[in-house]
Amino acid sequence: MMRPFRAAARAAEPIFPYVCLERPRAATDWPLVFQSIDPPADNGVRRVELHPDHLVLRRRTAGVPMKLTLPLAAYQGLAVALLDPQGEDEGVAIVLVHADPALSVTLYSAPHIDDVVAEWRGWSAALGLPMLVTEADGTRRPAYGMIGRVTVATPRLRRRGRGALKHRRPTMLRRRAAGRPLGDLDVHRGERELIARD
């Protein structure tokens, strides 16, 4: 449910060339309400409401209000893109990629690449969508495997003595002691036994 006060405050903010949204830290921080550039819309802007599981796009075209609700599952993931691929500008953006480019949404952009990897990972974890790498031919593939919001990586071999159970049993006690030879056994013969009788 959108909070009217927050939405009104965000809608009144001017649009800057770079986008830097604050990632939600708690359930009460959702939804994120902001504006993005949309050339076909009136005034060239649209309003975006980002929820944990869906996205709402609102815009007005020729005075007619339009609303589109999309589940986050309809998006391919988060990709890093150059703001000016053909020019010399080194600005980068993190884009929520949809098969229809008109429905893609920029969540972060900056004139440098200093924080882009941290933001890329953060948004991927917050939305539960894969980090996408763009190949030379324009296709995209996940940078890491994911199961839901958990990133799957190749398991590493456990180093001996550095595991979580290293304090449970010393290494020396893992070795079995050699048995005693039969010739060393004590044999008792001709001794009287002490037996308790009623």
182 domain-assigned: no
CA torsion angle for 67, 70, 76, 77 (degrees, to 10)? 80
39 falls in which pLDDT band (50, 70, 90)? confident
> Does the global pTM surpass 0.85?
no
Looking at per-residue pLDDT, the higher value among 84 and 110 belongs to 110
A 10 A CB-CB count for 141 gives: 10
List 46's β-bridge partners, or say none. Answer: 36
pLDDT digits (tens, 9 = 90+) for 131-181: 888 777 777 887 766 555 555 666 666 666 666 666 666 666 666 666 666
125 domain-assigned: yes
60 domain-assigned: yes
Domain with 42 in it: 4-152
As a whole number, mean pLDDT of residues 74-97 equals 83
Whether residue 77 has pLDDT greater than 70? yes
176 domain-assigned: no
52 domain-assigned: yes
pLDDT digits (tens, 9 = 90+) for 12-37: 444 446 788 888 888 888 899 999 88
96 domain-assigned: yes
81 domain-assigned: yes
Looking at per-residue pLDDT, the higher value among 76 and 187 belongs to 76
Tally of domains within the chain:
1
Query: Could you tell me if residue 109 is left (phi over 0), alpha (psi between -120 and 50 degrees) or otherwise beta?
Result: beta
pLDDT score recorded for residue 12:
40
Listed in sequence order, the residues at least 6 apart from 170 whose beta carbon sits closer than 8 Å to its beta carbon are none
A 10 A CB-CB count for 177 gives: 6
